[in-house]
Amino acid sequence: MIGYYVHHHGRGHLARATSICAHLSRPVTVLTSLPLAEEWPFDAVVELPRDDGDEPAVDATASGVFHWAPLHHSGLRMRMRQIAEWVAVARPAAVVVDVSVEVATFLRLLGVPVVVVAMPGERTDRPHELVYELADHILAAWPRSLYQPDWLRRYDFKTSYVGGISRFEGRSHSGAHRDGPRHVLTLGGAGGSTVDVAMIDQYATDHPRFRWSALGVAGARWSDDPWDELCDADVVVAHAGQSSIADIATAARPAIVVPQPRPFDEQAVTATVLGRSGLAVSLDGWPRSGEWEPLIDRALRLDVDEWRRWQTVGAPARAAAAIDEVAARRGPVSAA
């Protein structure tokens, strides 16, 4: 069997895991602190204790070696104990880690082959160097042709650039409706945003030429399945999270990308790549209300066929094939 660790921040890591696990040839156990619906698409779930509660975080980085390993932290201790007990009983052929330097390192110390999911940005700090060095394989969920960071080149021999992974791969759509005002959809995410619905309402007042709507921003409704709204949009305004970009690419919608502040400039780097490649209108920060009209017109002139270069078609299957290969090559002989 294969284990899959899913980080609890936002929903993108879980969406990616769901897409990949649908193509894996072995049973999958997910390990996470993220609350899951009763009907999960995995064979089993190990619910891990949180390690980011109110306890004091003493020497949390272990002198810069890790990102989060505070001394005498009961949540961390119980979390690692549960992982160790699961490994002892389940004997996984491999575990995918998306993402945690500490979990990946701990699993490798337990003798488990580890597939690490890379993230965009400037990952040149000591913890990231450690985890990419020890990984049996690395998955990069973007196309090599558009983004091959220098810090990842040294691991080319064990890295699969699989393309953007969207939960909507294979879904059909007819494109945006063209009658009436052009529809501008602002798409938020569970990872946090600086935008709220009052701002969108103001844009609608200032720019009546367009029909504005919002999903997932503060004060607006949330949708677990925004596919129809995404396909209906003439222009999508979104942050630069990996799952959001892959979803927009799958829907092939014109996009304005506004990166949210994230560690290691993750979204800023992604937005830069998209803008440089001509896939989206990329901004450094949130525009003032009066700046929207030329930006939307610019987005409407984009060639949406260019989204094919983000290589979302077949990406989950390519990721699963790489994981299956590690499990077959590095797993125990008796692994199921």
Model confidence over 312-325: pLDDT tens digits?
A: 999 999 999 999 99
10 Å Cβ neighbour count for 265?
16
Residues 20 and 128 in one domain: yes
Tell how far CA 33 is from the center of its chain: 16
Please indicate, yes or no, if residue 132 is contained in any of the structural domains: yes
Please indicate, yes or no, if residue 32 is contained in any of the structural domains: yes
| CA-based end-to-end distance of the chain | 5
Please indicate, yes or no, if residue 170 is contained in any of the structural domains: no
Please indicate, yes or no, if residue 171 is contained in any of the structural domains: no
Task: Look up the CATH number of the domain holding residue 196.
Answer: 3.40.50.2000
pLDDT of 175 reads 63
168-173 long-range Cβ contacts below 8 angstroms, 24+ apart = 168/227, 168/230, 168/247, 168/250, 168/251, 169/19, 169/250, 169/312, 169/313, 169/314, 169/315, 169/316, 171/227, 171/250, 173/227, 173/228, 173/231, 173/251
Task: With both helix axes pointing from N to C terminus, report the angle between 242-251 and 12-21 in degrees, rounded to the nearest 10.
Answer: 60
Residues 103 and 54 in one domain: yes
**336 has pLDDT over 60:** no
Residues 18 and 96 in one domain: yes
Mean pLDDT of 178-199: 82
Residues 147 and 13 in one domain: yes
| % helix, strand, coil for the chain, step of 5 | 40, 15, 45
Q: How many residues does the chain have?
A: 336
The amino acid that residue 36 corresponds to is L
Residues 284 and 321 in one domain: no
The amino acid that residue 174 corresponds to is S
Rg of the chain on CA atoms, in Å: 21
218, β-bridge pairs: 196
**104 has pLDDT over 90:** yes
> What distance in Å separates the CA atoms of residue 300 and residue 52, rounded to the nearest whole number?
43
Tally of structural domains, the chain: 2
Residues 134 and 200 in one domain: no
Specify the 3-state DSSP secondary structure of 260: coil
Mean residue pLDDT across the chain: 93
| Class of residue 208 by CB neighbours under 10 A (exposed 0-12, middle 13-18, buried 19+) | exposed
Question: Are 87 and 112 a contacting pair, CB within 8 Å?
Answer: yes
Please indicate, yes or no, if residue 336 is contained in any of the structural domains: no
Please indicate, yes or no, if residue 172 is contained in any of the structural domains: no
> What distance in Å separates the CA atoms of residue 154 and residue 165, rounded to the nearest whole number?
23
Residues 219 and 159 in one domain: no
Please indicate, yes or no, if residue 218 is contained in any of the structural domains: yes
> What distance in Å separates the CA atoms of residue 192 and residue 12, rounded to the nearest whole number?
12
Residues 148 and 203 in one domain: no
Tokens representing 255 are 């996009």
Residues 138 and 223 in one domain: no
Confidence label for 6 from pLDDT (cuts 50, 70 and 90): very high
Residues 114 and 224 in one domain: no
Show the domain range for 271: 182-310
pLDDT of 40 reads 78
Residues 133 and 73 in one domain: yes
Whether the ω angle into residue 101 lies within 30 degrees of 0, i.e. cis, is no
pLDDT of 289 reads 86
Residues 140 and 38 in one domain: yes
Please indicate, yes or no, if residue 23 is contained in any of the structural domains: yes
Condensed to tens digits (0 to 9), the pLDDT of residues 268-299 reads 999 999 999 999 999 999 998 889 999 999 99
Question: Are 113 and 133 a contacting pair, CB within 8 Å?
Answer: no
237, β-bridge pairs: 186, 256
Question: Are 52 and 27 a contacting pair, CB within 8 Å?
Answer: no
